[in-house]
């Protein structure tokens, strides 16, 4: 005879608990963590290098590089004299909280203000995985096309800031910036949109000043109250379906 | 997204709950995955078939409820259902809306035989 057993547990419950632990650890050290998401080739590493150049005098920075294989990106960052930890996911298409924790354990957290995580190049899978970050930001590059918000709405909605990279190539591609901005605003009206060229330097200042404001804002608030709230909302969001 | 990975976690959770309930077999698993998540029900069904073999959930049916996104306008207070792409308030056209439903991702319940 058949019996119904109630469960009501988040599917990503374990990941969320580990992410909350990561967040508590980061907050205890007063570190701001940015999870950067984009497709392969959108310019994640170039944007990170430009961000390092702009902010390294003000903040102690480290980078966590998520890739399926290789440590090419981590080496590029280390050449700048910035600590970098490579996570090779060995085929997995996104980072999870447990992987981030191993990378955090390899860093000297007492000597850092900002960690930027370069997630695996992918616009789908990283979207639903909370790592313990303060914000997720995403990069779309001009050659990818202005229709991407319509094809990958999830990431455009979860991101707290959106970067349009490679704007120096706008004249070479059939990219309708106005249509792109309209789609982004419809999906995510509150996220700021930064149009920049990471390799040419155009627009970098607006982006890094926004990021600096976020980091300084975190330093001024009571971290403990904020994590408690974050842990509750992340777990609950997956049961009641509200945005996180 | 990576439905095999999700199903691995789901099977672990339901098998544990089933053993605690004294089940010999799980006949049905019910999940809730809002339309705003990146989950594909067909891929989950395939994952259950592939990974469920040899577990208590072998041959179990999978039911995935997909709640429609629903938002409340922060300007005029109107509550409305919408698709993944359009959140604008249909009454006052404001874009500042708060998502009330659509990002659910949880195991609701299961049917077992003792």
Task: Answer yes or no: is B26 within a domain.
Answer: yes
Q: Is A221's Cβ below 8 Å from some Cβ in B?
A: no
- Residues B23, B18: Cα–Cα separation, whole Å: 5
Closest CA to A84 of A67, A68, A98: A67
Of B36, B96, B105, the CB nearest to A11: B105
pLDDT tens-digit readout, A156-176: 989 999 999 999 999 999 999
Is A1 a residue whose pLDDT tops 90? no
Q: Is A119's Cβ below 8 Å from some Cβ in B?
A: no
Of A6, A124, A186, the CB nearest to B1: A124
Interface touch A93/B2, C-beta < 8 Å: yes
- Residues A47, A51: Cα–Cα separation, whole Å: 6
Closest CA to A34 of A107, A135, A156, A140: A135
pTM: 0.83
- Residues B27, B56: Cα–Cα separation, whole Å: 9
Site from B106, B112, B114 to mutate, A interface, most A CB atoms within 10 angstroms: B106
Give me the domain span that covers residue B107. 3-69+101-113
Q: Is B64's Cβ below 8 Å from some Cβ in A?
A: no
> Strand (E) positions, A16-56?
32-38
Of B1, B13, B103, the CB nearest to A237: B103
Interface touch B101/A185, C-beta < 8 Å: no
Q: Is B49's Cβ below 8 Å from some Cβ in A?
A: no
Task: Answer yes or no: is B96 within a domain.
Answer: no
pLDDT tens-digit readout, A24-80: 999 999 999 999 999 999 999 999 999 999 999 999 999 999 988 888 889 999 999
> Strand (E) positions, chain A?
2-10, 32-38, 61-67, 84-88, 114-118, 135-141, 161-165, 193-195
Supply the ipTM of this predicted assembly.
0.85
Site from A7, A68, A95 to mutate, B interface, most B CB atoms within 10 angstroms: A7
**DSSP one-letter code for A32:** E
- Give residues with Cβ within 8 angstroms of A186, minimum separation 6: B85, B86, B87, B88, B95
For position A227, what pLDDT does the model report?
A: 53
Q: What is the CATH number of the domain that holds B25?
A: 3.30.2320.50
**DSSP one-letter code for B69:** P
Of B100, B105, B111, the CB nearest to A12: B105
Domain count, chain B: 1
Q: Is B99's Cβ below 8 Å from some Cβ in A?
A: yes
Task: Answer yes or no: is B84 within a domain.
Answer: no
Residues from chain A contacting residue B106 (CB–CB below 8 Å): 7-11, 238-239
Query: How far is the alpha carbon of A244 from chain B, nearest alpha carbon, in Å?
Result: 8
Residues from chain A contacting residue B7 (CB–CB below 8 Å): none
Task: Answer yes or no: is B75 within a domain.
Answer: no
For position A221, what pLDDT does the model report?
A: 64
- Give residues with Cβ within 8 angstroms of B67, minimum separation 6: A241, B32, B34, B35, B101, B102, B104
Task: Answer yes or no: is B93 within a domain.
Answer: no
Domains along chain A with CATH numbers: 13-218 (3.40.50.300)
Residues from chain A contacting residue B5 (CB–CB below 8 Å): 92
- Residues A72, A86: Cα–Cα separation, whole Å: 9
For position A169, what pLDDT does the model report?
A: 97
Give the residue-averaged pLDDT of A14-25. Answer: 92
- Give residues with Cβ within 8 angstroms of B98, minimum separation 6: A242, A243, B71, B72, B74
Neighbours of B37 (CB within 10 A): 22
Nearest CA in chain B to A4: B111
pLDDT tens-digit readout, B23-75: 999 999 999 999 988 889 999 999 999 999 999 999 999 999 999 999 999 88
Residues from chain B contacting residue A186 (CB–CB below 8 Å): 85-88, 95
């Amino acid at each position: 005879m058949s019996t119904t057993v109630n469960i009501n547990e988040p599917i990503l419950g374990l990941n969320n608990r580990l992410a909350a632990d990561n967040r508590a650890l980061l907050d205890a050290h007063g570190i701001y963590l940015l999870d950067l998401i984009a497709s392969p080739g959108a310019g994640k590493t170039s944007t990170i290098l430009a961000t390092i150049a702009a902010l390294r005098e003000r903040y102690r920075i480290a980078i966590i590089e998520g890739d399926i294989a290789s440590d090419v990106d981590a080496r590029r960052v280390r050449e700048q004299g910035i600590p970098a930890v490579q996570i090779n996911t060995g085929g997995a298409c996104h980072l999870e909280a447990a992987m981030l924790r191993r990378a955090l354990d390899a860093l000297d957290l007492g000597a850092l203000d900002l960690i930027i995580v370069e997630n695996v190049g992918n616009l789908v899978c990283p979207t639903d995985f909370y790592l313990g970050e303060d914000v997720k930001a995403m990069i779309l590059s001009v050659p990818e096309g202005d229709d991407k918000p319509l094809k990958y709405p999830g990431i455009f909605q979860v991101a707290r800031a959106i970067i349009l990279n490679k704007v120096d190539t706008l004249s070479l591609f059939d990219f309708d910036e106005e249509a792109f901005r309209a789609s982004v605003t419809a999906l995510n009206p509150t996220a700021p949109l930064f149009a920049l060229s990471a390799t040419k330097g155009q627009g970098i200042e607006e982006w890094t000043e926004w990021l600096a404001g976020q980091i300084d804002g975190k330093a001024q608030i009571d971290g403990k109250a904020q994590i408690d709230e974050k842990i509750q909302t992340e777990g609950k969001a997956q049961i009641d379906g509200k945005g996180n | 997204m990576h439905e095999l990975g999700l199903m691995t976690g789901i099977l672990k959770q339901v098998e544990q709950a089933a053993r605690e309930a004294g089940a010999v077999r799980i006949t049905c698993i019910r999940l809730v995955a809002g339309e705003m998540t990146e989950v594909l029900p067909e891929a989950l069904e395939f994952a259950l078939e592939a990974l469920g073999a040899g577990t208590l959930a072998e041959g179990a049916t999978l039911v995935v409820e997909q709640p429609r996104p629903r938002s409340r306008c922060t300007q005029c207070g109107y509550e409305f259902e919408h698709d993944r792409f359009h959140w604008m308030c249909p009454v006052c056209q404001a874009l500042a809306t708060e998502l009330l439903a659509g990002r659910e991702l949880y195991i609701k319940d299961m049917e077992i035989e003792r």
